[in-house]
Amino acid sequence: MSTRALRLHDLEPTISAFRADVIEGLSRPQKTLPCKYLYDDAGSHLFERICELPEYYPTRTEMALLASAADEIAACLGPRVRLVEFGSGAGVKVRLLLAALADPAAYVPVDISRGHLVAAALALAKDFPRLRVQPLCADYTRPFALPPAPPGAAATAGFFPGSTIGNFAPDEAAAFLGGAARLLGPGATMVVGVDTPKDPAILEAAYDDAAGVTAAFNANLLVRVNRELGADFDLDAFAHRALWNAEESRVEMHLVSRARQSVRIGDRRFDFLPGETIHTENSHKFAPDAFAALARRAGYAPKALWTDARGWFSIHALTVE
């Protein structure tokens, strides 16, 4: 199948939007860069490698849970559903759900990385030849419109696996879920994968692996800023750090300045002290009850819940009220 036959819906953020976000983030007292920009083509491929690491338990735990619960989740969604996946990535987990669905009407993968999105959508369309695949390149944290639903679609449902909801602070997560509710419509079902709090040693190892793949993933953000915005970050002058913030119930990823230095982006310069950090990503962990309360605040009614035997991960089916 060609990309022409697939028909990409392209709302990828512009370079000017990227530059504005980088300048704004680095101008804060606690320097930060939006985690969505970690996922260019190189970053997306690095994240696929992270998902295969022995330390990174979320992927294999969620995959096993999805495999065991797929039929029940499919029953919640019903036949002829149009499934919208937010942050679709390589499209690995959704295959378990698509295989269980009764005659799905369409699959709309939404991702910010255009090249990665097209490659994943083509592979999935080849393996599910009867399925209409409608890839949409967009920043799913901002409002966007879905492509037209195919004739005969009974309902639209959302799928947000991977504990990606944890990248948002709780208020931001509620805002995202509220936006998804408006996009999907009243009565729609939203399926969300949520990582739970656990031993800090397990959590920190998952985001700071021995092979250094997560460190390369984090540093790739600076590579991207250099390449696309003409910055002069010295990659050797920054180190990767992952730490558990118990008060906020989240793992934080930072890039730590190894020395006093100054970085140029266009006509702007940003000074760093030794030990000063750029906060690049959060991964909040929610107990099932806490996430259910957050979902209610965002306009959903909890519908069903699945957890693994250890309680390391949960999958929530929510109904838009």
C-alpha–C-alpha distance, residues 8 and 114, integer Å: 9
What is the predicted pLDDT for the residue at 4?
40
Per-residue pLDDT of the chain (321 residues; tens, 9 = 90+): 444 457 788 777 899 999 999 999 999 999 999 999 999 999 999 999 999 999 999 999 999 999 999 999 999 999 999 999 999 988 999 999 999 999 999 999 999 999 989 999 999 999 999 999 999 999 999 999 999 999 999 999 999 999 999 999 999 999 999 999 999 999 999 999 999 999 999 999 999 999 999 999 999 999 999 999 999 999 999 999 999 999 999 999 999 999 999 999 999 999 999 999 999 999 999 999 999 999 999 999 999 999 999 999 999 999 999
What is the predicted pLDDT for the residue at 12?
79
C-alpha–C-alpha distance, residues 302 and 186, integer Å: 14
CATH superfamily of 55-140+147-198+286-320: Vaccinia Virus protein VP39 (3.40.50.150)
DSSP one-letter string for 5-38 = HH--EEEPPPHHHHHHHHHHHHTSSS-B--GGGG
What is the predicted pLDDT for the residue at 1?
40
DSSP one-letter string for 72-84 = HHHHHH-TTEEEE
Residues facing residue 189 across a β-bridge = 319
314 neighbors 68 (Cβ within 8 angstroms): no
φ, ψ of residue 140 to 5 degrees: the values are -70, -5
Helix axes 170-184 and 288-297, enclosed angle (nearest 10): 60
Provide the residue ranges of all domains of the chain, joining segments of one domain with +.
Answer: 29-45+199-284, 55-140+147-198+286-320
Q: Is 267 exposed, middle or buried (0-12, 13-18, 19+ CB in 10 A)?
A: exposed
* Torsion 72-78-79-81 (CA) sign: negative
C-alpha–C-alpha distance, residues 64 and 60, integer Å: 6
270 neighbors 31 (Cβ within 8 angstroms): yes
Helix axes 57-77 and 93-100, enclosed angle (nearest 10): 20
Number of H helices, E strands in the chain: 10, 13
What is the predicted pLDDT for the residue at 9?
82
136 neighbors 108 (Cβ within 8 angstroms): yes
What is the predicted pLDDT for the residue at 7?
79
What is the predicted pLDDT for the residue at 121?
95
pLDDT in tens, 246-268: 999 999 999 999 999 999 999 99
Q: How many residues in the chain?
A: 321
Structure tokens that stand for 258 in this block: 């190894």
Residues facing residue 80 across a β-bridge = none
